Chains A and B, each alone.
Chain A
């Protein structure tokens, strides 16, 4: 069954109740609200006109047509209400509304929409859905403003994998949250390319007087790391307690045994893999990857050094 059939049926079953509830609605109003072109609307009304109840005589069929630019629907009482939301539709819409509220950008209108929707979906009034994004509201707001104004900002940013903190001048594009962290995508003047910065690692933001021309359509930011040829790779054997790594990171699964899993891990920097390996401890072992081996040894000795006193 085609998606088109399903979406056309949805549109018919949602348009009819609205027209029934709003007698005198114009073609333009209906088109705008339901995303129809005039031609599509008339085509669907024609279709409704030949459908109805068994008998299928003049009194049994629905009435649906356009007269003097108004949409007329009659004898279709059984379609006077739209179908209810599926569980997935209800959940996705409610969670989306809550998410925007949690970003601190929600309006009073959205807050009341979320309350009404939740009340309709969960009649007994318990709060069964919560979204918490632990937002860096202040930083996010300032970067968003700078992005909207096309203002270059100077950030003090810590790259934890290298342990260094440096000033960078960036042209902020989009502030967003993904899988638990907040980010800003930007053009970085120091690295002369698009970069994504984690907001919780930005120590300071200073707006400058310099302006930039925001790109007409900045690329949709993608946090998921995409492999490239210059990456370092490591082959790692995971014990069951570390199997979550293969769900969490974009690894290639090399082989699978009952009590271990071997994966190929790629990263732009050996220190990323080294940090993971140190964190996993005895639950993982490095099978291949000389650069990563060096980085693990280095990281481990730096850490043990810290504990040596």
Chain B
């Protein structure tokens, strides 16, 4: 390991100071630690070292030559290498480190390397109480996040078809991560765990629409997430769960009536019938769609079709 580390530090120091693209052969004969006699041994070492640098997030660029796109030269832009100034205090770093330890995104707690890069902290590894699990795969999120930050167009498969999206932001709501983006057909919201075959384009591939507010786009309940003709639905909840249903509504209903037996009747506007029916059925026989009649019939039809 010592040899590898020495060689990589020498390579990195060279690439950060040489100020131009250099070929593998040049590296081989200039940087200490590379095998100058055995071609295969050199290739193996060099490819390992490139992997190691990239794994740390070090922007090792490859320039190619000619139509065959043979890897030709390597360079690291010192400005792209450097951490931007963050001006974090020790207390702020410690607060971030604590947050990284109590939050899980995609399984394991993360953040130790990030905190080191930001200037270190008191890295006690004592067990912090687990506080939040945000699910999802951090790699996919990170790719989308980069695309949002660098204004790269993205393509992916979603619901069986190919999408081309100008990504504007990511948000976590009700247990899922969502991507908010603009498309030819308007603003769209996608669930991150349901998209696949993600590819991103070059930086500055689109101009951000300043009117898109990620937070506002995501603040929708399932029954509002659709573009159907709006309909006002009335629902009656049993006395036992009325308190809970009201919490779950998450907003002021259009009308709200407490009935003498303790039941609660509310009306809300819905633009996604299927999602609304799914939500109401979650209350089992403790809730009932009172109207309008066609929506009530749709619920009954759905129950009858079960299993």
Binding site for B on A (CB under 8 A): 1-2, 4-15, 18, 32-35, 47-48, 50-54, 56, 62, 76, 78-79, 81-93, 95-97, 99-100, 103, 105-107, 109-110, 112-114, 116-117, 120-124, 126-134, 136, 158, 160, 163, 165, 174-181, 200-201, 203, 217, 220-221, 223, 244, 247, 275, 277-282, 284-286, 293, 296, 299-300, 302-307
How far apart sit A79 and B169, CA to CA, in the bound complex (Å)?
A: 33
A85 touches B117 (CB 8 A): yes
Residue of B127, B149, B213, B306 with most partner-chain A CB within 10 A: B306
On whether A180 and B56 interact (CB within 8 A), knowing A91-B142, A121-B149, A307-B299, the answer reads no
Give chain B nearest CB distance to A46 CB in angstroms: 9
On whether A47 and B5 interact (CB within 8 A), knowing A160-B284, A278-B306, the answer reads yes
How far apart sit A93 and B145, CA to CA, in the bound complex (Å)?
A: 12
A306 touches B285 (CB 8 A): yes
On whether A103 and B14 interact (CB within 8 A), knowing A132-B218, A296-B307, the answer reads no
Chain B, range 213-236, C-beta contacts under 8 Å to A:
213-215, 218-219
- For residue B296, CB closer than 8 A to chain A, the reply is yes
- For residue B190, CB closer than 8 A to chain A, the reply is no
Give chain B nearest CB distance to A73 CB in angstroms: 13
B240 touches A113 (CB 8 A): no
B113 touches A7 (CB 8 A): yes
20 more A-B contacts (CB under 8 A) besides A93-B115, A96-B99, A96-B100? A1-B55, A32-B122, A82-B83, A83-B117, A86-B56, A87-B145, A89-B111, A92-B111, A93-B99, A96-B111, A99-B99, A103-B132, A105-B131, A109-B91, A112-B92, A126-B208, A129-B171, A181-B175, A278-B303, A305-B285
Over the window 263-307 of chain B, the binary record of Cβ atoms lying under 8 Å from chain A Cβ atoms (1 yes, 0 no) is 000000000000000100111111010000000100110111111
How far apart sit A152 and B4, CA to CA, in the bound complex (Å)?
A: 56
Q: Is the interface of B mostly helix, strand, loop or mixed?
A: helix
* CB nearest to B127 among chain A residues: A217
- For residue B84, CB closer than 8 A to chain A, the reply is yes
- For residue B38, CB closer than 8 A to chain A, the reply is no
- B121 — which chain A residues lie within 8 A by C-beta? 33
B131 touches A56 (CB 8 A): no
A82 touches B119 (CB 8 A): yes
* CB nearest to A275 among chain B residues: B284
B122 touches A88 (CB 8 A): no
* CB nearest to A174 among chain B residues: B129
On whether A18 and B169 interact (CB within 8 A), knowing A9-B56, A78-B16, A97-B96, the answer reads no
How far apart sit A117 and B281, CA to CA, in the bound complex (Å)?
A: 42
- B281 — which chain A residues lie within 8 A by C-beta? 275, 278-279, 303
Give chain A nearest CB distance to B242 CB in angstroms: 10
A84 touches B57 (CB 8 A): yes
From A100, A124, A160, A279, contact of B241 by CB (8 A) = A160
Give chain A nearest CB distance to B58 CB in angstroms: 5
How far apart sit A283 and B296, CA to CA, in the bound complex (Å)?
A: 19
A131 touches B172 (CB 8 A): yes
B113 touches A89 (CB 8 A): yes
- A277 — which chain B residues lie within 8 A by C-beta? 306-307
* CB nearest to A304 among chain B residues: B303
- A134 — which chain B residues lie within 8 A by C-beta? 173-174, 250
How far apart sit A300 and B300, CA to CA, in the bound complex (Å)?
A: 10
- For residue B20, CB closer than 8 A to chain A, the reply is no
B96 touches A117 (CB 8 A): yes
- For residue B138, CB closer than 8 A to chain A, the reply is yes
Give chain B nearest CB distance to A135 CB in angstroms: 10
A86 touches B57 (CB 8 A): yes
B247 touches A200 (CB 8 A): yes
A47 touches B6 (CB 8 A): yes
B2 touches A128 (CB 8 A): no
On whether A6 and B55 interact (CB within 8 A), knowing A32-B122, A87-B146, the answer reads yes
How far apart sit A124 and B169, CA to CA, in the bound complex (Å)?
A: 13
A83 touches B83 (CB 8 A): yes
B171 touches A92 (CB 8 A): no
How far apart sit A93 and B88, CA to CA, in the bound complex (Å)?
A: 14
From A54, A84, A96, A217, contact of B31 by CB (8 A) = A54
- A34 — which chain B residues lie within 8 A by C-beta? 116, 120, 123
How far apart sit A156 and B305, CA to CA, in the bound complex (Å)?
A: 35
Over the window 142-173 of chain B, the binary record of Cβ atoms lying under 8 Å from chain A Cβ atoms (1 yes, 0 no) is 11011011000000000000000000111111
- A82 — which chain B residues lie within 8 A by C-beta? 82-83, 116-119
Give chain B nearest CB distance to A94 CB in angstroms: 8
On whether A89 and B114 interact (CB within 8 A), knowing A51-B10, A132-B172, A177-B133, the answer reads yes
From B52, B98, B173, B302, contact of A9 by CB (8 A) = B52
* CB nearest to A79 among chain B residues: B13
B241 touches A179 (CB 8 A): no
- For residue B36, CB closer than 8 A to chain A, the reply is no
How far apart sit A216 and B133, CA to CA, in the bound complex (Å)?
A: 22
B130 touches A220 (CB 8 A): yes
* CB nearest to A51 among chain B residues: B9
- For residue B35, CB closer than 8 A to chain A, the reply is no
- A113 — which chain B residues lie within 8 A by C-beta? 88, 92-93, 95-96
- For residue B72, CB closer than 8 A to chain A, the reply is no
Give chain A nearest CB distance to B72 CB in angstroms: 20
How far apart sit A264 and B32, CA to CA, in the bound complex (Å)?
A: 59
How far apart sit A130 and B218, CA to CA, in the bound complex (Å)?
A: 9
- For residue B182, CB closer than 8 A to chain A, the reply is no
How far apart sit A18 and B121, CA to CA, in the bound complex (Å)?
A: 11
- For residue B195, CB closer than 8 A to chain A, the reply is no
On whether A177 and B132 interact (CB within 8 A), knowing A5-B4, A127-B215, the answer reads yes
